[in-house]
């Protein structure tokens, strides 16, 4: 991985990313600088908790603050482009809004880009890509796709981009794999560094591992739901990220929190109406009582989560919409902290 290892310092200096920051929107508390001023943020959590939406909301928040931000999806996913009702972005850096770009990282394209950076002679590159043996070995090597994917994420975060005409970004946000695969994904560079004891693969894998575990510049946000199992898994995930991967965990977002609509007296009145004889009133009161019960249960899970994790826990509201688009992501962006 010679093209990735011979480079200037890993990260943009803070003075470079402090420019072009307008005054925060009125009434919106800014996210503490030690979070969005990082160079790289992985957003992870159990599948189905809203990782992509939170990643896009973070991107919108950072872009609004004047940071040139790119949201990366891995394994050729295209969830972010659907939020923007955009055609598939593919392995391209596509501008979605002012200061906000998106890319879907295809591991095969990442591999091709990596080889192009290593072999300067075009004839050798073409010969390698036509080789069935190379294609077979690349497909059969465990973790290689994850390694080149992280290599591409690393490349996006560099001051001196290796890709021709690559733009510089202040912040790279990664919609990372879900809990089960996410830990192995982040440990891939260390695994390769341990297997390849010497040589360019060893040194470059070490560079990627240092990049992931640099607490000053790289961090994670865990997304959870206010339910028992996601809370349990999020607490375990935080522990694994800290102890097994060595990455900083900066935030835990509890997503989909129901509002508290009723006080104690109103709740008692609803309970009375739910047992009444008027059918329409009884049905409405039971529906309200059910929502009240769910809101209370969710706050109990919120309390459990705060007891079990070290990172600050922030809540995001449940949005009563059939589908979430840019407007809803912007609404969540205002609530991020």
pLDDT at residue 34 in the model: 66
**pTM above 0.75?**
yes
Instruction: Kindly tell me if the per-residue pLDDT of 4 is higher than 50.
Output: no
pLDDT at residue 1 in the model: 45
- Give the model confidence (pLDDT) of 225-284 as tens digits: 999 999 999 999 999 999 999 999 999 999 999 999 888 888 878 888 888 878 788 788
**In this prediction, what percent of the chain has a pLDDT beyond 70?**
88
pLDDT at residue 31 in the model: 57
- Give the model confidence (pLDDT) of 54-107 as tens digits: 999 999 999 999 999 999 999 889 999 999 988 889 999 999 999 999 999 999
Query: What average pLDDT does the segment 192-218 reach?
Result: 92
pLDDT at residue 32 in the model: 54
- Cα-Cα end-to-end distance for the chain: 37
Could you tell me how far CA 323 lies from the centroid of its own chain?
20
pLDDT at residue 232 in the model: 97
Please give the tally of structural domains in the chain: 1
Q: Give the residue numbers spanning the domain of 314.
A: 2-333
pLDDT band at residue 287 under the 50/70/90 scheme: confident
Instruction: Kindly tell me if the per-residue pLDDT of 19 is higher than 70.
Output: no
User: The domain that contains 236 carries what CATH number?
Assistant: 3.40.50.300
């Amino acid at each position: 991985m010679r093209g990735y290892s011979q480079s200037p310092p890993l990260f943009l200096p803070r003075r470079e990313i402090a420019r072009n920051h307008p005054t925060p929107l009125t009434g919106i508390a800014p996210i503490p600088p030690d979070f969005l001023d990082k160079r790289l943020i992985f957003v992870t959590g159990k599948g189905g908790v809203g990782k992509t939406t939170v990643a896009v909301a973070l991107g919108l928040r950072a872009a609004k603050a004047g940071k040139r931000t790119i949201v990366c999806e891995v394994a050729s996913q295209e969830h972010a482009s659907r939020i923007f009702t955009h055609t598939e972005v593919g392995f391209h850096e596509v501008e979605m809004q002012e200061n906000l770009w998106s890319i879907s990282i295809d591991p095969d394209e990442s591999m091709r880009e990596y080889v192009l950076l290593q072999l300067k002679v075009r004839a050798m590159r073409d010969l390698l890509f036509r080789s069935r043996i190379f294609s077979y070995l690349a497909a059969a090597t465990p973790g290689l796709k994850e390694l080149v994917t992280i290599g591409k994420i690393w490349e996006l975060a560099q001051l001196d981009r290796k890709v021709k005409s690559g733009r510089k970004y202040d912040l790279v946000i990664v919609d990372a794999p879900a809990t089960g695969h996410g830990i192995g994904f982040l440990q891939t560079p260390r695994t390769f560094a341990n297997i390849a004891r010497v040589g360019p693969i060893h040194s470059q894998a070490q560079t990627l591992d240092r990049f992931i575990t640099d607490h000053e510049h790289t961090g994670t946000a865990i997304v959870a739901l206010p339910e028992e199992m996601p809370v349990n898994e999020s607490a375990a995930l935080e522990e694994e990220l800290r102890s097994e991967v060595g990455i900083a965990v900066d935030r835990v977002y509890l997503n989909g929190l129901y509002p508290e609509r009723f006080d104690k007296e109103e709740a008692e009145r609803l309970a009375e109406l739910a047992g009444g004889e008027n059918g329409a009133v009884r049905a409405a009161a039971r529906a309200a009582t059910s929502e009240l019960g769910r809101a209370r249960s969710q706050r109990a899970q919120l309390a459990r989560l705060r007891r079990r994790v070290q990172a600050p826990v922030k809540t995001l509201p449940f949005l009563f919409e059939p589908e979430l688009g840019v407007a809803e992501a912007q609404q969540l962006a205002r609530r991020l902290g």
